[in-house]
Each structure stands twice: as C-alpha cells, then as structure tokens.
Amino acid sequence: MIPAIKSFQGEGAPPYFRLRTALSYCAPLFVNGIALPFFPVWLAGLNFSDHEIGLVIAVPMVVRVLVTPVVAVLADHMKERADVLFWSGGLSLLTAIALYWTSEFWPVLLVYGIQGATYAPYLPLVESIAMSGVRRWGFDYGSMRVWGSITFIVSTLLGGQMIGMWGGTMVLPVMVAGFVLTMLMGLVSPRIGPTRRRNQPINLQPPTGSLRSPQLLITMIGVSIQQSSHAMLFTFASIYWRKLGFSGTEIAVLWSIGVAAEVMVFFLSKMLNRRFSAWTLIFFGSSVCVLRWVLFPFNFGFLGYFLLQALHACTFACVHTGVQRRIVASVQETQESSAQGAYYFYNGMFLGLMTLASGYLYAWLDLDSYYVMAALAAFGLAMVIFARGLQSRGSAIGEDARGVS
C-alpha cells in the first residue's frame, strides 16, 4: 500500500506513518466528496432560494475561520494533535444526524453552522501531521495527500449514482457514514507528539522567517483570495448542470475529473518540486484560474465542462502545493499547526464571504457572475506577485536553487 520509510537519522517514524496519514486524509475528503457537490442539491430539494442556499453554504465557512485558528494554536501545545480528530469527527456526526429533524431555513442554517465549527479543525490538523512527517522524516507530501483526493473521486462518483436513483435524499445518510469514518480515522491517525523541531531531513532548507512574516501573510491572503473564486462553482455548478439536463452520473464525473486532475499533480509533486519553485506553481495556477472563469459561462456542452474541470489541477493543486512549500520554508515546526490554522482561516474567511456573495451575484448576473470570479482570481494573483517582490534577490536565488521557494 503506502509503506512508511525510516527516518533519515535518529528517531524513526511511527509504524506505517504514510499509510495512516493517507487514511486520515481519506475520511474527511469522503465527506467532502458528497457534501461539496450534492449538499446544495439537498437544499434545493427543500425549496430554498438561491440566496438561502448561498447563505447556508457560507455560514459554516465563516464559522470555520473563527474556530480553526484557535484550535490549531491549542493543538500546537497538546500532547497529541491527533486526539482532536476523534472529537471533531464525533461532534460533526451528531450535527449530521440532527439535520434529519430540520427542514426549515433557520434550523438548517443553525445546525449546519454548528457542523462548520465542529468539523473545522479536522483537515488542517491532518495537514499539520503530514507536514511534520515531511519535516522530521522526509516523507513526500503529495504521496500522502493524493489518497484523500482519490477518495473524493470515489465518493463523488458513488454520490452521483445514488442521487440519480434517490435524488437529494441520499445526501444525509452518506454524510453520516462519512463522519463515522472520521471518528475511526481519528483513532488510526499517527501519534507523533507535540509540534517541535527534531531531525530535519537534509533536503529541506531551514525555515527563514516566522508566522508574522509579511511575505508569508500576504502570500496566504493572496492565495486565499484566488481560491475563494471557486465559490460560485462550489455553490451553483451542480444546480446549473442539472438545469442543462446532465444526469447525476455526468455531474459526478465533472466533479471527479477535477479531483482526478488534482490527483495527478499530487502524484507528480516530487518531480514538480524539483523543476519549479513554489512561486512558479502559484503564479501558473492562479493565471489558469482567471482563464477558467472567463471561459466558464460559455456552454460548450459536457465535453467543454469536462475540460474546464480538468483545469482544477492548476487552479487548486498547483497553488496548494506551492503555498504548502512556502509555509515549510517560512516557519518552524513549533508553529506548524498555527500556520496551517492561519492559512485555513484566510481561506475559509474569503471563501465564506464569496460564497455568501455568490447567492446574490448568481441571482443578479446569472453566469456572468463568473467574470467577477475571474477578476477576484486576478486580484489574488497580483497580491502573490507583490509578496514575491518582498523577497530579496539574493534570498530568492538561494531558495530557488534548493527548490524550496
């Protein structure tokens, strides 16, 4: 499967570290593979308006930005970060069960908002554990993260089949099953102790800054703004494709091809990291993001949207890989969870705000609202270019030579 490797020196990694970390990614992305494409369909089945759907999807994102940094800072001081995963999964399971007894707008908004709070720390903490493995024992980040993306594809295709047979009623039972898995994976996730510096692999450059570095903060904010341009897609793409007459299976394929393309980037991440700097990956992915939203309003049919969804490899995976490398290059391991929490804070804040705005934009501009998303992605790209300019020329040359920057 995904065997663990030995430490470069000193203390070895926990048994099957890569396998257990990969499984820890699989559980939350199984949930996301159902909730992201199909929860709006469940909401539409309750006869919620576009504004109400946008608000329900946005509120958990806003709640996450308040919860994630707090939990992440606490996790940096805990004996075992992985313990938080079990409680996060268990409390989220309770909220998923509670949705069975909600069908009106305000109760759904409240319960789903609470779920946003309980579920918020799960994926950032898995990222923190994975990045500790990169720092301490030299594991390849992409080889662990990729299995979560593969699980997303499987769950989305499964969801597409089930929504074709049972409609939006299938969403809650599958989400409940997914949260049960998050609890189990919280028990399986590697126990590696608190964040701290150990034996750094010889192929990683020592961090050169801190979490308060203006360059890192502007980079994370710029990337988060660029990523928030996906809000319109996440909220209304499935509903729009159903209006075009695409079947549940076709919609699942459209979501899955984006993640499949993302998987290829993670599989090739080691090669990409050798050939391209983190800045190059972020610049390229953000530029493609602008192009993606400019083309999205043109209905080229299923094949056209298939190709546009494949660009997710660039607009998300390349950018995400790049920003993770910038975090590793900028902060000590003692700040790893805090850095991940800060990144998810900015990501969640801007994505939440744009998701909230997307309901109004879509009702007002219809598909032309994607041009607003293109402008947003361009603004995020401009911020990252500015952040890159803050790096001194000598430092840039040194980092590029080592393939870390």
Q: Which two tokens stand for residue 195?
A: 């964040």
Residue 70 within any structural domain of the chain? yes
Q: How many helices (H) and strands (E) does the chain have?
A: 18, 0
H-only helix segments in 296-368 = 301-310, 312, 319-330, 336-365
Residue 371 within any structural domain of the chain? yes
User: What does the mean pLDDT of the chain come to?
Assistant: 84
Residue 4 within any structural domain of the chain? no
Q: What is the mean pLDDT of residues 235-253?
A: 88
Q: What is the pLDDT of residue 393?
A: 44
pLDDT band at 22 (very low <50, low <70, confident <90, very high): very high
Residue 8 within any structural domain of the chain? no
The amino acid sitting at 52 is E
Residue 3 within any structural domain of the chain? no
Whole-prediction pTM: 0.70
Q: Which two tokens stand for residue 372?
A: 């607003």
Residue 154 within any structural domain of the chain? yes
Q: What is the pLDDT of residue 196?
A: 52
Residue 12 within any structural domain of the chain? no
The 10 Å CB-count burial string (b at 16+, else e) for 185-221 is bbebbbebeebeeeebeeebeebbbebebebbebbbb
Q: Per the structure, how many domains does the chain have?
A: 1
> Is the pLDDT at 177 greater than 80, yes or no?
yes
> Is the pLDDT at 253 greater than 80, yes or no?
yes
CA angle in degrees (0–180, nearest 5) for 353-358-359: 115
Q: What's the CATH number where 38 sits? A: 1.20.1250.20
Contact 50, 175 (CB under 8 A): no
Read off the pLDDT of residues 94-144 as tens digits, 9 standing for 90 and up.
Answer: 999 999 999 899 999 999 999 999 998 898 889 888 888 887 888 888 788
DSSP symbol at 392: -
Read off the pLDDT of residues 195-220 as tens digits, 9 standing for 90 and up.
Answer: 654 444 434 444 445 556 788 889 99
| Total length of the chain | 405
Read off the pLDDT of residues 219-230 as tens digits, 9 standing for 90 and up.
Answer: 999 999 999 999
> Is the pLDDT at 3 greater than 70, yes or no?
no
- Residue bearing tokens 């299995």: 147
Q: Which domain holds residue 145?
A: 17-196+207-402
Q: What is the mean pLDDT of residues 19-30?
A: 93
